[in-house]
């Protein structure tokens, strides 16, 4: 690998050359100019009061108030987790309001698309469904879901979806979240100057807040998105910058929320709007996504993706984007600066995310279709201003949309859907285990490299991979989210995937949809054969190129749910051995899961496989043997064909007449 290599994506490489040619700066260059603060990056800078900021640089040093290295590192980590949990959960809250509006008719354009899911969610929230209209149920679901955010006592309701043993652990440790918001607020309180100053105690609350995200805010966001826009099921679409078209109006939707983007999809497909685009000289309107708004529209509407997180500025650099429509989270302020050199309109839409210099067209669910049309029209009107265009040809097919519900169906059919075949495959050793490879891109490491190497490594070792967010889009770009990726799979994994008809890497949605992975793990535990709890399952969670606080919240709720989680890049608590030990060995003794930071992808892979094998041994499962399975069906079939070709009198119904040793 060249030392200054920035990405493994040829489309991104082409765009970076283009950026250099045009003298435009992107995050890929800014990262070289911005050295990380050596104290802050280790978690040792405390700026929680005006006596400081206190920068602790050596062991034993304390802040002005006497706060130790471990207290400061724990407080910083806790605050980051709280911010991540807040971001995901606030996303969920907004979806509750849209569901309420859709049911009462106050949010025109939205409707309850998935009544099955609505009734299922209602049952889990304890809402009566018998003899009631979907609108009546939806109002109650929205109100009860909203109440989960502000609840002050008791437990959030979705905890009941976890295995019983797991629920007991949470109760015993007093980390079962009472309400989504309360636990986040409590972190902010505890980490205020002069309050909670015991690292372990602070970090216990981090688990509680993160659980409120994973089993609360995020899970509600996923469920309500499914109710409003449909539970994902597999479809075929495409990814990478090559999906942009040089003769159509290109609109990119970027961010995380599906509410406005779903309306933009409808507006962009409106024949009247397409005619309007033609009147401006374009051949049509081409919609593409970036980041998790892309994941949402990709898996439900088949809207192609222009790429993951680090592609946002590169897409503008093509000169072919009429409008970059952004909602919330992971949006570079630098987009506005890059867009100044092109005709691209950066349109902010969320009342929570305005960017100086961008055009603000605020989203309001009460008139969403109208706003979506105005946005699409603004993009079309911008088409004649387009200058020179440079679109890389790279694009790849992918099959997204493996919701938990659809995986159950694929494994068990309509009438007895279950994850039993998955458990069976792990127990027999055809699958060594499962891995969730999720998370962001980070320009501090080569874009996509760690994601790709890890996913490929897992496949070669017969580990089934599930992915969400930018990690999923990364694998998609290299063809891993389609049947053709089977060429990387080990023999046992290949056998399972070919039998079921799934790719070896399953796209499960956006980053709030990590909650789908939680429910899959819960069902694997309750199905039997792999222990009684999530912590018994031979599986790991990885975020190899993480960068956001949301990733820390996700990692923490997986750990608190019993999973072994490994993050790449670097540790935000590197400066404190005590905190590193608390979130590793300490959390493992408490909740069965642990959080580790390991920058080397090869070591992440080895640690993951070691952990999977350790869990297999603890369950008494046969030791993983890559030569034991695979090709068995093919071998007999090939022997039959060979015998037939050689003129043997073979039976079409048995191996009779096949004399080969292979029988």
Partner 1 sequence: MAVSTLPVPSMYADHHVTAVRRALEEVAGVQEIQTSAAFKEVTVKHSKEVTKEALAEALGKAGYPVGQEKSPQGEPSCFGDPGWYECAPRCIKTDTVDLEMSGDFRRY
List of long-range contacts for 190-194, beta carbons under 8 Å, 24+ apart = 190/78, 191/48, 191/75, 191/78, 191/79, 192/48, 193/48, 193/49, 193/51, 193/65, 194/65
Task: Choose the stretch contacting partner 1; rule: CB under 8 A; options: 63-71, 340-348, 404-412, 470-478.
Answer: 404-412
Residue choice 526, 578, 644, 660 for contact with partner 1 (CB under 8 A): 526
Nearer to partner 1, 185 or 236 (CB): 236
Residues 424-463 that bind partner 1 (CB under 8 A): 427
Q: Confirm or reject binding of residue 248 to partner 1 (CB under 8 A).
A: no
132 touches partner 1 (CB under 8 A):
no
Q: Is 234 in the site for partner 1 (CB under 8 A)?
A: yes
The nearer residue to partner 1, 458 or 558, going by C-beta atoms, is 558
Nearer of residues 479 and 504 to partner 1, judged by Cβ: 479
Task: Check residue 302 for interaction with partner 1 (CB under 8 A).
Answer: yes
Least distance from C-beta 207 to partner 1, angstroms? 23
* Using rule CB under 8 A, residue 262 touches partner 1: no
- CA–CA distance, 627 with 582 (Å, rounded to integer): 39
509 binds partner 1 (CB under 8 A): no
Task: Choose the binding region for partner 1 from 101-109, 249-257, 458-466, 521-529 (rule: CB under 8 A).
Answer: 521-529
The torsion angles phi and psi of 288, rounded to 5 degrees, stand at -145, 155
Query: How large is the angle between the packed helices 199-212 and 549-560, nearest 10 degrees?
Result: 90
Selected binder of partner 1 within 528, 622, 633, 657 (CB under 8 A)? 528
The secondary structure of 550-564, three-state, reads HHHHHHHHHHHCCCE
Structure tokens at 3: 């030392």
> Is residue 233 a contact point for partner 1 (CB under 8 A)?
yes
Give me the least distance between CB of 578 and partner 1, in Å please: 39
Position 539 contacts partner 1 (CB under 8 A): no
Q: Which stretch binds partner 1 (CB under 8 A): 99-107, 302-310, 327-335, 602-610?
A: 302-310
Peptide bond into 38 cis (omega under 30): no
- Closest approach, Cβ 8 to partner 1, in A, equals 23
Using an 8 Å Cβ cutoff, are 204 and 173 in contact?
A: yes
Q: How far is the CB of 295 from partner 1 (least distance, A)?
A: 15
- Does 533 participate in binding partner 1 (rule CB under 8 A)? no
Which H/E stretch holds residue 632?
helix 632-645
The answer to whether 373 touches 273, Cβ cutoff 8 Å, is yes
Of the candidates 151, 335, 324, 344, the residue with the CA atom closest to the CA atom of residue 254: 324
* DSSP string over 408-474: HHHHHTTTS--SHHHHHHHHHTSS-EEEEE-----TTS-BTHHHHHHHHHHHHTTEEEEE-HHHHHH
Among 90, 94, 313, 523, binds partner 1 (CB under 8 A): 523
Could you say whether residue 229 binds partner 1 (CB under 8 A)? Answer: no
580, 571 contact by CB (below 8 A): yes
Q: Does 111 bind partner 1 (CB under 8 A)?
A: no
Cβ proximity of 469 and 292 under 8 Å? yes
User: Of 388 and 414, which has the nearer Cβ to partner 1?
Assistant: 414
# residues contacting partner 1 (CB under 8 A): 41
Task: Count the helix, strand and coil residues of the chain and give each as a percent rounded to the nearest 5.
Answer: 50, 10, 40
How far is residue 312's CA from residue 309's CA, in Å, rounded to a whole number? 6
For residue 277, give the nearest of 389, 382, 390 by alpha carbon: 382
231 binds partner 1 (CB under 8 A): yes
- The three-state (H, E, C) secondary structure of 563-614, written as one string: CEEEECCCCCCCCCHHHHHHHHHHHHHHHCCEEEECCCHHHHHHHHHHHHHH
Q: Does 238 bind partner 1 (CB under 8 A)?
A: yes
* Minimum distance of partner 1 from residue 118's CB (angstroms): 9
Residue from 41, 359, 397, 660 in contact with partner 1 (CB under 8 A): 397
Distance CA 312, CA 249 (A): 17
Determine the interface stretch with partner 1 among 92-100, 233-241, 541-549, 560-568 (rule: CB under 8 A).
233-241
Q: Indicate which single residue of 84, 212, 214, 232 sits in contact with partner 1 (rule: CB under 8 A).
A: 232
Binding flag, residue 408, partner 1 (CB under 8 A): yes
Under the binding rule (CB under 8 A), the answer on residue 179 touching partner 1 is no
Cα of 112 vs its chain's centroid, Å:
24
Regarding 578 and contact with partner 1 (CB under 8 A), the answer is no
CB nearer to partner 1: pick between 162 and 489: 162
Closest approach, Cβ 300 to partner 1, in A, equals: 8
Q: Is 644 in the site for partner 1 (CB under 8 A)?
A: no
Would you tell me which residues interact with partner 1 (CB under 8 A)?
Answer: 114, 116-117, 120, 161, 226, 230-238, 301-304, 397, 401, 404-406, 408-409, 414, 416-420, 427, 519-520, 522-523, 526-529
């Amino acid at each position: 690998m060249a030392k200054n290599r920035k990405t493994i994506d040829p489309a991104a490489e082409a765009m970076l050359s283009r950026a250099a040619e045009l003298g435009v700066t992107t995050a890929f260059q800014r990262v070289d100019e911005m050295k990380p603060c050596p104290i802050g990056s280790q978690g040792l800078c405390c700026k929680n009061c005006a006596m400081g900021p206190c920068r602790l640089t050596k062991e034993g040093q304390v802040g002005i108030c006497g706060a130790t290295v471990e207290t400061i590192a724990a407080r910083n980590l806790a605050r980051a987790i709280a911010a991540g949990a807040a971001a995901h959960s606030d996303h969920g809250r907004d979806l509750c309001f849209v569901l309420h509006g859709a049911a009462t008719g106050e949010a025109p354009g939205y409707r309850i698309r998935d009544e099955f899911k609505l009734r299922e969610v209602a049952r889990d929230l304890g809402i009566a469904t018998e003899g009631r209209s979907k609108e009546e149920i939806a109002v109650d679901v929205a109100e009860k879901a909203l109440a989960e955010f502000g609840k002050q006592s008791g437990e959030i309701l979705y905890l009941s979806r976890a295995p019983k043993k797991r629920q007991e652990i949470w109760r015993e440790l007093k980390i079962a979240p009472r309400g989504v918001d309360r636990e986040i607020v409590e972190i902010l309180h505890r980490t205020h100057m002069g309050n909670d100053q015991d690292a372990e105690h602070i970090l216990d609350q981090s688990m509680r807040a993160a659980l409120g995200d994973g089993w609360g805010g995020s899970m509600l966001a996923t469920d309500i998105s499914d109710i409003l826009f449909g539970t994902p099921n597999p479809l075929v679409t495409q990814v990478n910058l090559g999906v942009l078209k040089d003769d159509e109006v290109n609109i990119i939707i970027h961010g995380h929320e599906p509410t406005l983007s779903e309306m933009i999809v409808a507006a962009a497909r409106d024949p009247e709007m397409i005619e309007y685009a033609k009147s401006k000289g374009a051949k049509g309107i081409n919609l593409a996504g970036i980041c998790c708004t892309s994941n949402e529209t990709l898996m439900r509407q088949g809207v192609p993706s222009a790429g993951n997180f680090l592609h946002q500025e590169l897409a503008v650099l093509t000169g072919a984007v009429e409008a970059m429509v952004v909602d919330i989270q992971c949006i570079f302020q630098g987009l506005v600066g890059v867009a100044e050199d092109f005709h691209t309109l950066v349109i902010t839409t969320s009342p929570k995310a305005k960017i100086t210099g961008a055009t603000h067209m605020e989203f309001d669910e009460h008139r969403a279709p109208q706003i979506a049309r105005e946005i699409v029209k603004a993009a079309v009107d911008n088409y004649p201003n387009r200058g020179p265009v440079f679109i890389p040809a790279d694009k790849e097919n992918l099959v997204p949309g493996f919701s938990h519900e659809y995986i159950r169906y694929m494994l068990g059919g309509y009438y007895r859907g279950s994850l039993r075949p998955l458990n069976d495959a792990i127990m027999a050793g055809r699958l060594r285990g499962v891995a969730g490879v999720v998370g962001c891109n980070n320009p501090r490491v080569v874009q996509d490299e760690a994601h790709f190497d890890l996913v490929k490594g897992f496949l070669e070792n017969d580990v089934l991979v599930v992915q969400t967010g930018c990690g999923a889009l990364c694998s998609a770009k290299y063809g891993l989210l389609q049947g053709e990726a089977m060429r990387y799979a080990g023999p046992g994994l290949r056998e399972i995937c070919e039998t079921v008809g799934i790719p070896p890497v399953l796209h499960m949605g956006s980053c709030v949809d990590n909650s789908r992975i939680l429910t899959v793990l819960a069902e694997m535990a309750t199905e039997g054969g792999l222990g009684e709890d999530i912590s018994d399952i031979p599986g790991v969670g990885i975020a190899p190129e993480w960068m956001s606080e949301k990733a820390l919240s996700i990692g923490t709720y997986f750990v608190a749910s019993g999973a072994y989680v490994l993050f790449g890049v670097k540790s935000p608590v590197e400066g404190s051995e005590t905190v590193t030990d608390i979130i590793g060995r300490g959390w493992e003794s408490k909740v069965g899961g642990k959080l580790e930071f390991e920058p080397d992808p090869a070591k992440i892979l080895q640690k993951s496989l070691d952990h999977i094998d350790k869990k297999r041994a603890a369950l008494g499962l046969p030791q993983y043997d890559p030569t034991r399975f695979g090709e068995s069906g093919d071998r007999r079939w090939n022997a039959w064909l060979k015998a037939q070709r050689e003129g043997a009198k073979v039976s079409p119904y048995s191996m009779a007449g096949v004399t080969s040793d292979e029988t």
